[in-house]
Amino acid sequence: MTDDDPYLWLEEVTGDTALDWVRERNAETMTELTGSARFTELRDQVREVLDADDRIPYPRRRGTHLYNFWQDAAHPRGLWRRTTLESYRSPEPEWEVVLDVDALAAAEGESWVWQGAAVLRPGYRRALVELSRGGADAAVVREFDLVSLSFVEEVDGGFVLPEAKSQVGWIDEDRIYVGTDFGEGSLTSSGYPRIAKEWRRGTPLTEAVTVFEGKPDDVAAGAYHDPTEGYERDIVYRSPDFYRTERFLRTPSGLVRIEVPDDAEASAHREWLLISTRSEWTVGEVTYPSGALLAARFDEYLAGSRALNVLFTPDEHTSLSYFRWTRNHLLVATLHDVKSRFEVLTPGPSGWTRAPLAGVPEVGSADVLDTNPDDDDEYLLNASGYTQPATLYRGEVDGGIEVLKRSPAFFDADGLETHQHFAVSDDGTRIPYFVVGRPGADGPTLLYGYGGFEVSLTPGYSGTIGRGWLARGGTYVVANIRGGGEYGPAWHQSVLREARPRVYEDLAAVARDLVDRGITTPARLAVQGGSNGGLLTGVMLTRYPELFGAVVCQVPLLDMRRYHKLLAGASWMAEYGDPDDPADWAFLREYSPYQNVRPNRPYPPTFLLTSTRDDRVHPGHARKMVARLAEHGYDVRYYENIEGGHGGAADNEQAAFKWGLVFEFLWRQVG
């Protein structure tokens, strides 16, 4: 295969010529979209939502404290802070600031963006804090003392890593597992760690001991430690592709393979091994279906026993979403036609028992945000709907459930209704989608979709969409197209690789169904998506332009001929295919948006957005697409935020500005 791409120079992320082009495009877009009073109002209203003092400060339990990361107007890069449960219950909790990221950034002259922290269990006295420059996936790692509330400097024996796409985790207070850029050959072709090492405090990284190596073409390899008292285990793994993982128990005598299907999810909790199947699995004379959840006693399983307890079996309408352990129980979350359901499963001497999770409200969707499996049966559950603001609950299995916090209403939902409909795709498959709006409305409609990587789109409250779209008379639609996980692994696997066009047929079917139901017209229907959803909207533009009045395409994949050569792209070949294989390129080229731009087509006005600091999906995708569309004289505009990583924004100000641009564009085109 040869490259005959006249816009390859736009892949030079920080090249002077490419950045000059970016600045020119940004200036054009800002001149077009930021001059109106409506843009200012949209931006400011979104910023109010993002910075609101009365929004829920979602916590994570770490020992006796509830930790929260908080951003607002006064702290745009955020505060990592903590409080007690007793204080959190009050209207105004007393927060102790653990780390002020804004103050740190100012003191060090860096554009730090919080990427999270791995806290040492048990004891919760130390953390491995990850900070990125401008919001990229690559981050520095610095050890933090949660008693003195200060960094542990490298000269004092602290664990410190330079910027890289690292994978780190605690073994004990003096040892960590680390996968990072150790030098030539230490990363996979996808740019993730290939080698896992055990690093002891007070020794240089160069003396860390290798415990496991993956292969160069793997997606990643790594190691982690389970510190549960009495059940301490060390696991190493390699992921040959995005959906397959080989796992090994690390023992003093060597590695022991955990013999489960490579495409299954497997995890251990105390004496139990849980296995979630992605494809049919025959064990002896029993065949377990795709999407099932199975349990076995860990030690007995490794010794050869195949006594499996079936904890969940999917059906036509119901799929396994996820599960969470408490100390003594397993919380199983399922989706029934994209609506949340929960059960409590409890192992006992005579087997597993099950019961509904008591007290869960009937709303659009709910999620178990956190549990405390080391200590008790507490869980934190968040519930909301498209028009119902979120409520955060704290419950105890076999105990009560209490409301901890309620989110304010950020927009007037009076008169708004939510309905679920089903469209019929080209092959006869029924595709569910939600419509939020006023009954009888025949006006501006925004259709959102993703359709990939087994990611489910469930109902949830968004003050941003509410203020910027719904409260102004727009209708909002979320399509649960294939490629997601709404109906289990099969819903996703049915559209992999050469079957990918079914995803696009699904979204086109939803667009037509909206028109057939009188909800909108093509001229007043816009479509929006990001990342894999940016590929989705790119295909809508080039293959189904007559269905839409506007297209918003964010942090997108668009050049499917070169995606595997750009940043993390190689890790997604199990989803899309290998462009270097002529057989794969034969089906990829049929829909790759960048290769399918044609002159004199009825392309609707289009807006592409990305980030210079996106080191997951290369900004060259969006840049080159804009250049090619402009070459043919199409109505296209572009905005590239310098910071923000794959999320597109590093703080609330940047996010509000980006949303202001998007909403102003949408109202101009379909409003």
552: left (phi over 0), alpha (psi -120 to 50) or beta: beta
CA distance 504 to 593: 12
Exposure string for 483-511, b = 16+ CB within 10 A, e = fewer: bbbbbbbbbbbebbeeebebbbbbbbbbb
Whether the CB-CB separation of 44 and 52 falls below 8 Å is answered with no
Q: Tell me which of 531, 571, 592, 611 is the catalytic residue.
A: 531
DSSP string, 536-582: HHHHHHHH-GGG-SEEEEES----TTTGGGSGGGGGGHHHH--TTSH
Whether the CB-CB separation of 42 and 659 falls below 8 Å is answered with yes
Structure tokens at 417: 């209704």
Structure tokens at 136: 């990229």
Name the residue among 215, 236, 219, 107 with its Cα closest to residue 169. 236
DSSP string, 415-462: T-EEEEEEEE-TTS-EEEEEEEE-TT--S-EEEE----TT--------
Q: With residue 145 as reference, give the H or E element that holds it.
A: strand 139-145
- Pairing status of strand 160-164 against strand 139-145: antiparallel
Q: With residue 508 as reference, give the H or E element that holds it.
A: helix 501-516
Answer yes or no: 531 catalytic.
yes
Name the residue among 468, 366, 458 with its Cα closest to residue 411. 468
Answer yes or no: 239 catalytic.
no
465: left (phi over 0), alpha (psi -120 to 50) or beta: alpha
Structure tokens at 478: 């979320």
Name 482's bridge partners: 484
CA distance 527 to 520: 13
Peptide bond into 619 cis (omega under 30): no
Cα dihedral across residues 642, 648, 650, 655: positive or negative? positive
CA distance 57 to 340: 23
Q: What residues are annotated to the active site?
A: 531, 646
